[in-house]
Chain A
Amino acid sequence: MADTGLRSPFIPNTTEDRAAMLAAVGAKSVEELFADIPAEHRHPHLALPEALDEMALRREMEALAARNLAPGASASFLGAGVYHHFCPAAVAPLVTRGEFLTSYTPYQPEVSQGTLQGSYEFQTLTAQLFGMEVSNAGMYDGASALAEAALMACRITGHARVAVTGTVNPRYVETVRAYSAPQGIEVYTVDASAPALEPETAALLAQYPNYLGVIEDAQTQSDAAHAAGALFCLSADPVAQALFKPAGDFGADIATGEGQALGVPPSYGGPYVGIFTCKREHIRQLPGRIVGRTTDAQGRTGYVLTLQPREQHIRRQHATSNICTSTALVGLWATIYMALMGKQGLRRVAELCYQKAHYAAARIGELPGYFLPVEGTFFQEFVVSCPAAPERVNRTLEASGIVGGMDVSDRVPHGMLVCVNETHTKADIDLLVDALKGVF
């Protein structure tokens, strides 16, 4: 290795250190330590850029960030599964504390009680928010959580067929299919309002509110699943459940969700956290990490990873999943968000979402050329049928610095899925309405 001393601020060994260590090892050079690599494969050409100093790096990254249109929540009306919500300033400094940020999975509970108690709080608060009996410590995201729910339902029932309503987020359905196909699990689509299940179906998968923002009759779905001997798996929005009945009220056997909605930045797709809750009778079929309460040798309350024989590091090919992460840090973000919002605050947020969205829908529905083609109660999202292709409408909005809604014209002619919530003031909404008017 060409010795360049203090090249990296992250590598402390000096030339002298290396010399002393090589002497202890009995090697002449660092290169000698790589002698097991076949000579013809050793030290290949590596076409990477030269190192950047921190100032140059910042300049480059800030320039890249500036090439994105990220006007903030107030000027964005895009949702479709990922939501800009207001997040109190207290969350980020706590989550980014090095003690949380740079620890590993809590295998040594004696020195990991911070992470473990944080996950126990997450399990408590998500279970309560979803009205479910138990929760695990977290999954990757909402889509993969629903896919794991489908696999879990197949393990529990012994069946290899899963029904999905036609109104589940299409990206979630694709994820369910990618996880199911290799295990020979058949995925078929059913009508959301009157699901007709085939025999030997393991689960009915539904979404609440559905992909187009509508609160569906989850009780009818749940009853249909149970009448057919299937489990009912509901992918539910966490914030919506602060206002509308939670998943547990419908007898959901497994309820999952995208934890991003709990104040986590959209960050172009992640990291998020998947929420995974279920009935207590199914805990030994849960995928992922689970934290449980116990006592230490002094009789003090403490927390540990538990029910570990379900997991890959013990049961290997017979594990309930290969997942190892609980996405603990994002789970902690969601936990602190729920703690700060609390009983009154989260309900207030949900009511504001409802009120702002309904105001916006009424205003847009009055505009010439626009109408609301989808019936049903909605929470913070609704479909607008536009006078032009949504793609064109969004370009017009962009000219005003506004990020428009999701193009759902593949489902609804000229359909745009608009999200309006607590982050929007009346003035923000009025600006959107004015900009939409300008499409003509």
Chain B
Amino acid sequence: MHENKTELHPLSQETIEGVQAATADPIDAMRLAADLYASNAYAAERALALETGRQLPEPPKLISHYLRAAALDIHARFQVMGALLNTDDLRRLEALGPIVEQRLATDEQLGEVVMTLLAMKPEDAVLWIRAHLGDLEARLSS
């Protein structure tokens, strides 16, 4: 499995177009492309470490303004949602955390749900989580 991850490939035309569409700043688009390469190297190194039992690598430090802002926003959104949820909700989500983290790598539907929640106002996302937490637990435990 890691053989594919450790091969060096050029960014696809689709990815380059995505990078250019994501930021109007051509210099930051270059930094964003560099972040993508660094993240691919990290993913390959992490996969190898998991396979061989070696120490997990540290994630790369992002250099593009675009992804640094996105990482800060993701952090802020999780923090705000955490502050709005009650202790019981948080305990249940903490139990789901490792499963969600793993499944996000392959489960497209779950990825869509998480991305949609992060695009909502945190207050609305929390309402959605409260209404669907039982469904999520049932789905992720199977």
Q: Do A and B bind each other?
A: no
